[in-house]
Amino acid sequence: MENIYQRNLPTDLELNGPILSFIEQPVGIGSTVTGSVTLSGIATVSWATTTPSSFGTISYQWYESDGSALSDSSTITGSATTTLTISNLRSPQDNGRQFYLEADYNATDEYQTALKGTGNAPNEPKKSDTVGITVEPLIEIIAEPATTETVINTTKTFTVDAGLTDSSYGNVTYQWSLNGNVVTDGTVTDNIGGEVLVDGPQSFTFTADECLELIDARNITIVTAAGTGGGGVSGPGPTNGGGGRTGRMTYAPGQTINTTLCFKIGRGGNPGSGTEGGLGGASSYAKGGDGGPGPHGGGGGGGATAVYDEALGKYTIVAAGGGGGGGSGTSGPPNGRHSGLGYGRARAAMTAGTSSPNPGDNGSNKGGGGGGGVQPTGFPAAGGGGNGADGNGGASGFDENRTSFAYDGWQNTSGSGYVSINYTGKTRQSQIVTRNTVVTGAQSNTLTLSTDQVGIQTVSVAVISANATNSPLISSTANLVIRDNASEYLVTVEGVNSTSTANVSTIDLFNGEYEFTTSTGDPTQNAFIREYSFYSPDKDLNVEMDLYGGKGADSGSKSGGEGGFSRIRFTMERNVEYVLAGLIEAINAPFLYKKATLIACVGEGGDAGSASDGGFGGGINVAGENGSGGNGGNGGDLIVAGTLPSNGYYGTLTSLIPVTPDTTSNEPQGGGRTIPCARGVYWRDQGKAPCEDLGTVKFRNSDGTEVTNTAEIARGYKSGYNIIQTKGEGEVSNSGDGGTGAMGGKGGTSTSGGGGGSGYTDGSVTVVSTQQGGSQFTTAKVIMRIVT
C-alpha cells in the first residue's frame, strides 16, 4: 500500500508564509486639554526566500492590556486600523490605561487568482508593544459664583465649588477678582461716579428740543413761545409775518409731581425771496406752512412749540406759530388772525381729545402758522392766506386738567420759540464718591465682601493648579448688587419627621443662601427630618437651587462615583407647597416636588466594588455613568424632560412592596424608575389621585397624622409612597450597589462598581447648568438662593 505521507502533491500555494513584524510600534502618550489621545502602529511582512508575485493583506485590531478587543463607538475610532483615537478621557478613570495592537496576515486564495497563493504567517497574530496613556487631570467648576444682593456695610459671600477631576494630584488654589482687578485681603478703595438729589429753586430755558426730569416739583410756572412767521415780498419791501403765541402757564397748581417734560421748540418761518416762498418754521410737533411762490414770494409760517408730559402720556400745552407774510402789497390779514391765536381757541380740544389739538394741516387746526399767500393767484396747502394775503396764525391749546393760565399771553416777534420753566424741586447732580470695599478670602474658595456705596460690582475667580492642563480656569462673572435699603425674601421651612410636630423656621434669603442637608442618624428620633416642606408666605420669589446628589460609598482604595449636579431656577409661588424628599441616608439624592409633581432630581453616584470604582450620578437631563470593571452595573438611563411614565418600579436593593400598577425591577441587580407624582399612603386610601391637588390644608404624615404646626397652604404632596428607592443591589458583598435617581443605577457583579442614577425634570424649571458627576459630598444636599 502506498504511503500517503510520502506523496509529492503538486500545488500553486507558497507553503512558507511570510513573517509579520512591526515597523512602527505604538508609543505611550499623555492627553491634552481636549482629553483625547491617538496611538498608531504599522506592521509589514517579509519572506525567507523569494517574495511571491501575489500576496495577502494585513488586518489590525486594538486591545486593552487585559485582552479586551476595542470597537468603534462615540469615544473610540479606528479600533480596527493602524491608528486608534480615544476621546473624552478623564483622570483618574482613564489614567494609566494600556493598549496594544495585533496584526494578522490574510493569505491569498489560490482558487481566486491566477497567480500563486501564499500560506499564513507562522507568527500571527503579531502583537505590538503594550503602551500606556497618561491622562492629566482637568479643573472643573461644579458650581459657579452666584449674583447676590445686599445693602451697604453688610457682608455677602461668593463661593465657588471646584476641584480636579483626579483628586490624587492635590488641591486647587484660588484668586478672586473684583471689577476685573485681582484683589487681596484688605480694603479696596476706588472713586466712582455718583449723583445726588439737590432740592431748591430751579430755573431752565430751552431753545431746542430737550426733556427735563421733575422730581418732587411744585410751584411750577412754564412760559411757552412759538415761532414767528416769515415775511413776504411785496413791491419794493417786505410784509411782516405774524407773531408766535407766548403764554405763561401755572403747571399742576397746588400739586407736587414727578414726571419728565419734553419740550418741542418751534422755529421761526423763513421769509420769501424774490419769486420763491419761504419754508415754514420747523417743529417736531407741528411745523409752519410754506409760503407760496409767485412774482412776490410769501413767508413761511412759524412752527408750534409744545410740552409733552411723560407721566400722562400726552401733550399738555401747545403755543401757536405765527402766519407768514403775504407776497404782495397787502397790509395785514383780512380776518385778523395773522398772529398765533390764544390758548382759549383749542382748550376744549386738548382736554377732551386724546393728546393734542385736532389733527389736520399746519394751519389753525394744529398750531403751526399758515404760509403767506401768493400773487396773483393761489395759496399754499398749509396756509391760511388768500391771493397775496398773509397766512393765518395757528391755534394754541392746553389741558385744563393739568395746567391753567391767567391771561391769553403775548406775541413772540423775535424769530424762533423757546420754553422757560421755574419751579421748586430736586435735580440730579453728578459727583465723584469714594467707595471702600472690605475683602476677605481673596485666595480661598469663599470670598466675603462689604462696601459703603450703592452700586454694582463684578466678581469672578481663577481656579489654579500646576497639574491641570486647563489652568487657570476662570469662573463666570457674578454681580454684587448694593442697594440703599433692604427687602425681605422670606421662606418658611417645615422639617417633617415622624411626629405631629415639624421643625419650623423662617429664613430671609436676602441674608444669603440656605442649605437643605441630609438628615443622618436614627430615623426613629423626632429630630430626623424625612421631608422638607417649604413655601414663600409673602410674595412670589425667583429662586435658584443647586442640587447635589450624594457620592457613592468607597470600597478600600476604590472610589464611589461622584453624585450628579444641577443648578436650576424657578419662581416659587406664594403660599404654594414645595417639598424636598430623598435627603436621608437610604436615598441620598434630592427629589424636588411642587405640590404633587416631581419637578427636578439628580442622581446619586454608584458604590465602588472591591476592585472597581462606582459610576457617576447624572444631573438633570444626564444619564448615570456605568460602574467600572468588566461587570460594572449600568448607569440609570436618561429620561427626556416631561416623559416620565405614570407607573414605576423599585430597585432591587429595597424590600418595599409595590402597589399595582407599580412593580419591582425584574433584572438581577436592576435599578428602579420613579413616578411623576407621589401616591402617598393616607391620601391614596382617601381616593386622591397621585397628581391631584389637596387644597388649602396642613401637611399630613403617611399614616394621616396632621402635622399641627404646619401652615394651611396650597398642597398636593402625598407622603409615604413615592418610589424614590431606585438603587440596584450589588450581586455580592464586595460588589457596588447602584445609585438612586429618576432611573436608578444597576448593581455591579463580582467585584465591580455600581452604576450612577440619572437626573430628571418635568420641564417646568430652567436648567442653568447640569453635568454627570461633580458632587463629591458624601451626603446629598440642596442650596437655595434668591435671584434678583
pLDDT one-digit tens code per residue, 114-154: 445 667 888 889 999 999 988 888 899 999 999 988 888 88
Cell 470597537 sits at which residue? 71
Q: Which pLDDT tens digit goes with each residue over 546-597?
A: 999 999 999 999 999 999 999 999 999 999 999 999 999 999 999 999 999 9
Cell 420769501 sits at which residue? 272
Query: Residue 347: helix, strand or coil by DSSP?
Result: helix
Instruction: Count CB neighbours of 737 within 10 A.
Output: 34
**Degrees (nearest 5) of the Cα angle 482, 488, 492?**
135
Q: Which pLDDT tens digit goes with each residue over 475-521?
A: 999 999 998 766 789 999 999 988 999 999 999 998 889 999 997 66
Q: What's the helix, strand, coil split of the chain in %, to 5?
A: 5, 40, 60
pLDDT at 375 over 70: no
Q: Which pLDDT tens digit goes with each residue over 686-709?
A: 999 999 999 999 999 999 999 999
- Find the DSSP H helices in 328-402: 347-352
Distance CA 39, CA 132 (A): 10
pLDDT at position 320: 85
pLDDT at 359 over 90: no
Q: Is the dihedral of CA 472, 554, 632, 652 positive or negative?
A: negative
Cis peptide before 376 (omega within 30 of 0): yes
pLDDT at position 217: 95
Whether the CB-CB separation of 532 and 514 falls below 8 Å is answered with no
Whether the CB-CB separation of 675 and 591 falls below 8 Å is answered with no
Q: Kindly give, in sequence order, each residue whose CB lies less than 8 Å from that of residue 739, ignoring residues fewer than 6 positions away.
A: 549, 552, 561, 563, 588, 589, 603, 604, 605, 606, 607, 614, 615, 617, 624, 636, 727, 745, 754, 755, 756, 757
Average pLDDT of the residues in 374-384 = 32
Q: Which pLDDT tens digit goes with each residue over 249-273?
A: 999 999 999 999 999 999 998 988 8
Distance CA 197, CA 430 (A): 9
pLDDT at position 79: 95
For the entire predicted model, the pTM comes to 0.62
Distance CA 633, CA 569 (A): 32
Instruction: Count CB neighbours of 16 within 10 A.
Output: 14
In terms of C-beta density within 10 A (0-12 exposed, 13-18 middle, 19 or more buried), how is residue 666 classed? exposed
Whether the CB-CB separation of 285 and 319 falls below 8 Å is answered with no
Q: How many residues does the chain have?
A: 788
Q: Cα dist. 56→20, 109, 110, 116, 237 in Å?
A: 12, 9, 11, 11, 114
Average pLDDT of the residues in 329-334 = 44
Whether the CB-CB separation of 323 and 242 falls below 8 Å is answered with yes
Q: Which pLDDT tens digit goes with each residue over 593-637?
A: 999 999 999 999 999 999 999 999 999 999 999 999 889 999 999
Percent of residues, the chain, with pLDDT higher than 90: 59
pLDDT at 685 over 80: yes
**Torsion of the alpha carbons at 393, 397, 403 and 406, rounded to the nearest 10:** 50
